[in-house]
Chain A
Amino acid sequence: MAASLRCFLRSGKNAVSALGRREFHRSSPAAVQMTVRDALNQAMDEELERDERVFLLGEEVAQYDGAYKVSRGLWKKYGDKRIIDTPITEMGFAGIAVGAAMAGLRPICEFMTFNFSMQAIDQVINSAAKTYYMSAGLQPVPIVFRGPNGASAGVAAQHSQCFAAWYGHCPGLKVVSPWNSEDAKGLLKSAIRDDNPVVFLENELMYGVPFEMSEESQSKDFTIPIGKAKIERQGSHVTLVSHSRYVSHCLDAAVVLSKEGIECEVVNLRTIRPLDVETIEASVMKTNHLVTVEGGWPQFGVGAEICARVMEGPAFNYLDSPVTRVTGVDIPMPYAKILEDNSLPQIKDIILSVKKTLNV
C-alpha cells in the first residue's frame, strides 16, 4: 500500500486524484501501470521483434525466464536461436557476445548481477569499448550489457557493489542507469538501437515497483535519448542529483522538506556517461545549492565527478555552499539488516544533508 501510494505521488496529480476516487477513467485515457521488470521485458520483446539481429544471452535467461524474471516469456516466443542460456562462464559468453556484435549481430548480454561482470570486464572494456577507436571507425560494436547493479537486500559484500563509477570512467562506453518504468523501457530500447557498447545498470529492488506509463511510452517506437537527464520535480532552493533507486529517495525527501518550506529540484541523471552536465548546471544556477545522492562508494564516485564538473563550469560561481555528496558508506556491504540499512543513504540522510547544505 505504501509503495503504491509513493508511486502515485510520483506520477502526478492525475493519478493522485484517481486513487482518491478510484475512478480510473478520469485519468488520461491510456494511462497504464507497469513495473520496471515488465517495462524492461516489453522493451526487449519489441526490439527482438523489430530487428532480426537482436538476441539475448546470459545465465538462465531462456528456460528459467530470467533469474529475476526480466526475460519472462521471451524464450517461449522467440526460441533457442534468439534467447540463449549460457553456462556460468562470464568471460567466455561476454566475449562471445562482443564477437557476435563485431560480426553484425546486435546482442543483449545479461550479467546476472554486475558483480559478475568483473569476471568479464576485460571483454567489456578492451574488446568492446575501445575497438571503434582503435580501428579508427572500421569496427563498431553494437552491444548492450545489462543486469542488476548495486545493493539488493541482504546479499552481502560480494553481491552488492555499484559499478556506475567503474564503467562511467571509460571512454567508448555509454553507461545508462534508469530509475522508473518509463526510463527502463525508453532507455533500453535506445541502448539496443545504439551502435555502440552500452552498459545498462538496472536495480533489483526496483524491478517490482509499478509506475504509471504515459501514453507516449506505450508506443513501440518510444525511446528516451541516452545522455539527457530529466527534472523529476521542480524546485528553487536546492538541486538534488541522483540516479536509479535513489531518485525515489530524493523525491520522498523532497515531499518531507516541502512541508518545511524547502523546495527541492530533483534531477534524475538517467545516463551516467555521457553525463548531462548542462542540466545540472542550469539547475544549480537556479537553486545555488547542490546535493548528489548515490548508492555507490564515495571515493572516485559519480558524486565526485559531478563536484569536479560543477567546479570547472559556469555553475561554480552560483554556489552558495560547497557541493554535498550523499553516498554509500565506504565499506564492503555488511549482511546484518541493521548494518546494511546504515550502509546506504536513507531519506533522513538526504533531509539532513539538504538542511546542512542550506545551513538551516
Chain B
Amino acid sequence: MQNMLTIISNALCRITGRNAGARVVVSRSFADFTPQATFDIKKCDVHRLEEGPPLKAELTREQGLEYYRIMQTVRRMELKADQLYKQKIIRGFCHLYDGQEACAAGIEAAITPNDHLITAYRAHGYTFTRGVPVKEILAELTGRKGGVAKGKGGSMHMYAPHFYGGNGIVGAQAPLGAGIALACQYQGNNQVCVTLYGDGAANQGQLFESFNMAALWKLPCIFICENNKYGMGTSVERASACTDYYKRGDFIPGIRVDGMDVLCVREATKFAADHCRSGKGPIVMELQTYRYHGHSMSDPGVSYRTREEIQEVRSKSDPITLLKDRMLSNNMASAEEFKEMDVAIRKEVEEAAQFATSDPEPPLEELCNHIFSNSPPLEVRGIHPWSTLKSVS
C-alpha cells in the first residue's frame, strides 16, 4: 500500500509539477479502486467536418483526481474572491468563473505547457491552469506586491509563460491569439495557440478578421467560444442573429461541445489540437457552459435570468459534481478522499487569502517602472512640475 501511495503521489506530482501527491491520503487500500474507466460523452455537433471527437473518453483515477483538484481549487478561489470583493478588499473589476471550471480544466488537460493560451477578462481560472499559484492570483486581485503582476495589472491583466492574459477589451484577444499562432508556425515548433472569447465577443469584427487570416495562412489557432448564454446582461438571442457560434467561422470547421463535462472538453480540445498540428489550419470550438455569478461583481446576475435557471444548472450540470459522481459510481475514488481534498483546497485558498490581505501594497518607488523593456532609465512627468519620478526597466 505504501508503494501504491508513492506511485500515485509521484504521478500526480509529474502531471501537475506541484506537490499534489501529498494531499492524497486515504484509509482504504488502493487495490479497491478502479484504476481506469471509459465514459460515454456527448456527441459534438460538427460544422464542415467529416467526423468529430470520439464518443468515449478514458479517465484514469489519477487524472480524475487531478481534474477534480483543479476545478475545485478554481471554484473555491473564485468564491473567495467574491467574499473579498464584498469586504472591499478587492476593488474595480472582478469577473468570476465559477460554473465554467470544466472549460479551463479540460482545455489544459488536452494541451501541453508549451502550447499557448489567451483569453479575455474572465481569466482567473486560466491563470491558475496555466501555472500561477492561487496566492499570486488573489494577491494581484487585492493589489499587493506579491501579485503575479506585482499589483500593477489587477484582475484582467495577469500573465505567465505561454499565457497572454487577461485582456480587457472585448475581442482584442482574438487577433492577438492568431498572431501567437503565426509565431508558432513561423518558428516551426508544432505548438498551437488556444484563443478564447465569449458569446458577446463572437460578434466582433476583429474576430472575423482573425478567422480570415488564420484560415488563409493556415495558422495553428484553436478559436474557442465560451458560450455562457449571456454577454453581460444580454442573452445570446438578443445579441446574435446566429447563435450557432461553432458555425460562425464559416469556412473554418467547427465543433459544438458540452462545456460542463471536463472529459468532453478534453476530447474536443485534443481533436482540435491534432487538427491544427497536422497543418490543416484553424478550428472553432463552441463550449456550451454557464456562469453562476453575474457578469461581474457589480452585476447580481438575476435581472436578466431567473434564479430557477441558475439553480437548475447547479443541480443538474455542475461540472465538479458531474466528475465526482462519475468517479464515485465507478468506484474510482471514495467520498472521504474527495472530502479530504476539499479540506486541503479550502486550506490552500484560505492561506492564499491571508497572504493576499496581509502582503504590502507595491512601494511608490515602483510607480513608474516597467514602461519600457531593456531601455535606459528615464524621467517621468509626475502630477506637478516639482515631482521627480523615474522609470527603470
Contacts and interface: CB of A to CB of B under 8 A. Distances in A.
Given A104-B183, A136-B150, A138-B159, A94 B378 contact: no
A135 to B, nearest CB: 4
Interface residues of A, number: 45
Given A89-B209, A135-B149, A126 B172 contact: yes
B180 A93 contact: no
Contact of B180 (A81, A102, A194): A102
Given A122-B172, A195-B375, A95 B206 contact: yes
Given A89-B212, A95-B206, A140-B374, A134 B149 contact: yes
B172 A137 contact: no
B174 A95 contact: yes
A133 B371 contact: yes
A326 interface: no
Contacts, number: 151
User: Which among B169, B205, B209, B393 has the highest number of chain A CB atoms within 10 Å?
Assistant: B209
Interface in A170-229: 171-172, 174, 194-196, 227
B116 interface: yes
B153 A135 contact: yes
Contacts of A126: 168-169, 172
Interface in B100-117: 116
A16 interface: no
Contact of B153 (A136, A140, A274): A136
Nearest to B149: A136
Interface in A129-186: 131-140, 142, 171-172, 174
Nearest to B183: A103
A91 B175 contact: yes
A123 interface: yes
A105 interface: yes
User: Which among A87, A103, A138, A227 has the highest number of chain B CB atoms within 10 Å?
Assistant: A103
Nearest to A312: B385
Interface in B147-188: 148-153, 157, 159-160, 164-165, 167-169, 172, 174-184, 186-187
A55 B205 CA distance: 25
Contact of B182 (A99, A134, A227): A99
B216 A139 contact: no
A241 interface: no
A123 B373 contact: no
Interface residues on B, range: 35 or more
B180 A195 contact: no
B210 interface: yes
Interface in A98-114: 98-105
Contacts of B172: 95, 122-123, 126-127
A86 interface: yes
Contacts of B167: 127
A137 B150 CA distance: 9
A79 interface: no
B249 to A, nearest CB: 14
A89 B193 CA distance: 21
Contacts of A347: none
B175 to A, nearest CB: 2
B251 interface: no
Contacts of B375: 194-196
A69 to B, nearest CB: 24
A89 to B, nearest CB: 4
A132 B371 contact: yes
Nearest to B177: A99
Contacts of A102: 164, 176, 179-180
User: Which among A122, A131, A172 has the highest number of chain B CB atoms within 10 Å?
Assistant: A131
A96 B150 contact: no
Nearest to A227: B378
B166 to A, nearest CB: 8
A313 B186 CA distance: 49
B373 A93 contact: no
Nearest to A171: B371
Contacts of A135: 149, 152-153, 157, 159, 165, 370
B213 interface: yes
Interface in B179-202: 179-184, 186-187, 193
A262 B206 CA distance: 55
Contact of A122 (B169, B184, B217, B369): B169
B39 interface: no
A101 B183 CA distance: 8
Contact of A139 (B159, B168, B179, B205): B159
A92 B373 contact: no
Contacts of A89: 209, 212-213
Contact of B206 (A91, A97, A196): A91
Contacts of B175: 91-96, 98-99, 123
A91 B209 contact: yes
A96 to B, nearest CB: 4
Given A87-B216, A126-B168, A134-B153, A97 B371 contact: no
Contact of B183 (A99, A133, A136): A99
Interface in A40-87: 55, 81, 84, 86-87
B212 A92 contact: yes
B372 interface: yes
B389 to A, nearest CB: 11
Interface in B103-143: 116, 118
A172 B149 contact: no
Nearest to A274: B378
User: Which among A126, A134, A227 has the highest number of chain B CB atoms within 10 Å?
Assistant: A134
Interface of B: 116, 118, 148-153, 157, 159-160, 164-165, 167-169, 172, 174-184, 186-187, 193, 205-206, 209-210, 212-213, 216-217, 369-375, 378, 380, 385, 393
27 contacts: A87-B209, A87-B213, A94-B175, A96-B182, A97-B179, A99-B118, A99-B183, A101-B179, A102-B164, A102-B179, A105-B186, A127-B176, A132-B373, A133-B371, A135-B157, A135-B159, A135-B370, A137-B370, A138-B149, A138-B159, A139-B165, A140-B373, A171-B371, A195-B372, A195-B373, A196-B372, A196-B375
Interface of A: 55, 81, 84, 86-87, 89, 91-105, 122-123, 126-127, 131-140, 142, 171-172, 174, 194-196, 227, 274, 312
Given A92-B178, A92-B206, 12 more contacts: A89-B209, A89-B212, A96-B179, A99-B180, A102-B179, A132-B372, A134-B152, A135-B370, A138-B149, A138-B160, A140-B374, A196-B373
A-B pairs, 4 with minimum CB distance = A99-B179, A95-B175, A92-B209, A103-B183
